[in-house]
Each structure stands twice: as structure tokens, then as C-alpha cells.
Amino acid sequence: MTERIPEPGEGKRFLAPETLAPPAGYSHVVEAPAGLLLYISGQVPLDRNGELVGAGEIAAQTRQVFENLTAALAAAGGSWSDVVKLGYFLVDVAHLQTVRAIRDEYVDAERPPASTLVEVSRLFRDDVLIEVEAIAIKG
């Protein structure tokens, strides 16, 4: 089993079992010690006033989504280093490279969270191209 070694005191292990295909930009398994769980609802590219950011632009929408996730984590006393799982909902999976490039500005790209990506026919509004939810463990 291939294992990425956690930093001292971190306690998380990022695993890529040899019995599974090598992961491309995510971890198959993140083992984390017991702590306070944070479930962050799916965030969409709306600013604090509820206005859409980046109409028709996946990069601008993705950046706003990750800024919203950052704010949600901070409100609960968490940070990106606490995130163990991300769930992505994209209206066009062809945007994956753009989404990952922006995600890598927020997460440790050498030890990325476990993740799931689903292409959907639409989100709650026709002008929203992406939604991302997160699970984090503080402690």
C-alpha cells in the first residue's frame, strides 16, 4: 500500500492502496483521528449579497466557490488543512482541469482530500456551473 507520510503531529494518513488504480489528483482514502466533524454544505458562486460571480466563466465561479468554502471553514474555526473530503457537482466535466488548478491553490496538492465528482444536467439555477461541498475534521 502506498502511503503519503503525514507531517509530525498531523495524524492524518493519505492512502493509495496498490489494489486500486493510482489516483489522479485526489486520495483514495484519508484516515483521520477522531475530532470535531464539520460538514460544509455545497457552496455555489454567489457573493455575500447573493449575487452571481462570473456569469458563464467557470474559473471565476470556481474561485468564488472556494472563497465561500474558506469563509465557511473559518466560521467554524477550521481551515483547508482540516478538509478530508470534497464533493463536486459540475454541469460540464470538461472543466475539471480548471477546477483542479484553482482547488490546488487552497488544498495541499501533494496530499489532496478524498473527492467525488458528478456531472449534473443543471444546478439550482441555470447560470450556476459548479457546486462544491466539504467534510473537515478539526482536532
Predicted local confidence at residue 104, as pLDDT: 98
Predicted local confidence at residue 11, as pLDDT: 78
CA distance 86 to 132: 7
Domain that holds residue 94: 35-138
Report yes or no on 71 lying in a domain.
Answer: yes
Report yes or no on 70 lying in a domain.
Answer: yes
Q: Each residue's pLDDT tens digit in the chain (139 positions)?
A: 455 444 544 678 888 889 889 998 888 888 888 788 999 999 999 999 999 999 999 999 999 999 999 999 999 999 999 999 999 999 999 999 999 999 999 999 999 999 999 999 999 999 999 999 999 998 7
Report yes or no on 80 lying in a domain.
Answer: yes
Report yes or no on 3 lying in a domain.
Answer: no
Domains of the chain: total = 1
Predicted local confidence at residue 17, as pLDDT: 87
- Specify the CATH number for the domain of residue 43: 3.30.1330.40
